[in-house]
Structure 1
Amino acid sequence: MAALRPGSKALRPPLGRSFSGGVGRLARGRGSERRDAACSPVSRFCPPRQSCHDWIGPPDKYSNLRPVHFHIPENESPLEQRLRELRQETQEWNQQFWANQNLAFNKEKEEFIHSRLQAKGLGLRTASGQRTTLDAEEMADFYKEFLSRNFQKHMCYNRDWYKRNFAITFFMGKVALERVWSKLSRKQKKTSS
């Protein structure tokens, strides 16, 4: 696993900020409990305690998506917390959808292969012990049927995915404005002092 490190102090676009770590440190007294909270049920990997970046884990064996361990900064504002929680919820929702979809796909694919082989009078294994397979044209029938049966589910998923991404982008913009506003406020206080 590798940490996503924020770039230089130059301004980054709000979308890039969602994939780079926050700017902050873990609270010293709460480091272990935050580290435990950051561990995902999908992956056993936990980022180091002193990490102050988001971490991307290895692909999940069911969903094939890479889980993100989100960094929780010590001085996280309520708006930043809301954004992080929305991102975490979206990631969990996405992981769950694709895990279920991939399990259903693999189950239906095995059933399809088994039924086609039985119709041909063949077994699952050849005489030499190798697994019997179907050719690409026969598998294309399965893929077409599977996509047709799941068309509505995929449409709903895509609609919800876009809604969630727009909400995340909106909150990222609000967080960016909040950060700029707080920096300007601090500069004004320093110059007026």
Structure 2
Amino acid sequence: MSTMNILRRTAGLRYLATAAKRRCNKSRLTDGLAQPVAADMIGTPDPISNLRPVKYYVSPHETEEEKEWRLLQQRVDEFNQTFWRNNNLMFVRAKAEYEDQLIARGEPVTAEAMSIFYKDFLNKAYDRQMAYNREWWRLNVSMLYPGLKACVRALRNRSTAVESKDTGFWDKSFES
């Protein structure tokens, strides 16, 4: 095994180890996020999936509709996180293997050689990607009705709160 091959292989493994280490450090940093938050919080990108995690605000007066919608959002976020984490790990491993094969054959690792890998990787991942897209769309469409219910409930609660304050136009005093 050539020195260049060893360096490339260790670089790929180092990337995965560094990403895992950052993930552990990030979990220590985000331990404070276990506490309730005052608004939805968006974190820094995950080093492997490249997606930004979201910590959703849970209102103390959260209705069943709002809870259902929030839980669906969290489920879709976890689905995305899992898919892209696995996909990106597969990509890094497959890329390292392809580079090793090129080096073993004595070929240089060039942009042109890598374009063949990228095309092959995308072709092999097509069915998996399409299954992901179908499921992602299904999950997003399934969130529409619970989101609408939560919105209608919030509007209804807001309108009853305004009516109970007796601050309608005719209730105001014009004598002052």
TM-score, shorter chain, exceeding 0.5: yes
1:41 CA displacement: 8.7
Q: 1:175 to 1:47 in 2, by over 3 A?
A: same
How has the CA–CA distance of structure 1 residues 116 and 66 changed in structure 2, closer, same or farther, with 3 Å as cutoff?
A: same
Counterpart of 1:152 in structure 2 is 127
1:65 aligns with 2:51: yes
Shift of 1:106: 0.4
- Code of the aligned partner of 1:119: R
Distance 2:133 2:158 in 1: 37
- Tell me the distance in 1 between the aligned counterparts of 2:56 and 2:155: 22
**In the alignment, residue 112 of structure 1 is paired with which amino acid?**
Y
- Is 2:75 the partner of 1:97? no
2:158 alignment counterpart: 183
Percent identity over the alignment? 30
Matches within 5 A, 1:76-91: 76-91=62-77
Task: Give the Cα separation in 2 of the matches to 1:43 and 1:78.
Answer: 32
What secondary structure, in the 3-state scheme, does the structure 2 residue paired with 1:150 have?
Answer: helix
DSSP-derived class of the 2:39 partner: coil
Amino acid of the residue matched to residue 73 of structure 2? R
Aligned counterparts of 1:149 and 1:166: Cα–Cα separation in 2: 27
Q: How many residues align?
A: 142
Indicate how the Cα distance of structure 1 residues 146 and 50 shifts in structure 2: closer, same or farther if over 3 A, else same.
closer
Q: Which residue of 2 aligns with 1:20?
A: none
How far has the Cα of 1:185 moved from its partner? Answer: 3.2
Structure whose residues are more often helix by fraction = 2
Structure 1 segments unaligned to the other structure (5+ residues)? 1-39, 123-132
Determine which of 137, 147, 157 is the counterpart of 2:112: 137
Structure possessing the higher radius of gyration over alpha carbons? 2
Question: In the alignment, is residue 119 of structure 1 matched against residue 102 of structure 2?
Answer: no
Residues 58-108 of structure 1: CA distance to partner in whole angstroms, max 9, x if unpaired?
111111111011111111101100111111111111111100000000000
Aligned-residue CA RMSD (Å): 2.5
The alpha-carbon distance between structure 1 residues 48 and 89, as it changes in their structure 2 partners (threshold 3 A), is: closer
2:40 is equivalent to residue 54 of structure 1: yes
**Pair 116,155 (structure 1): closer, same or farther in 2 beyond 3 Å:** same
What TM-score does the superposition give when structure 1 sets the normalisation length? 0.66
Distance 1:106 1:161, change over 3 A: same
Sort the Cα spacing of 1:41 and 1:119 in 2 relative to 1 into closer, same or farther, 3 A: closer
Q: Which has the higher contact order (CA 8 A, sep 6+)?
A: 2
Check 1:157–1:50 CA distance in 2 against 1; reply closer, same or farther (3 A cut): closer
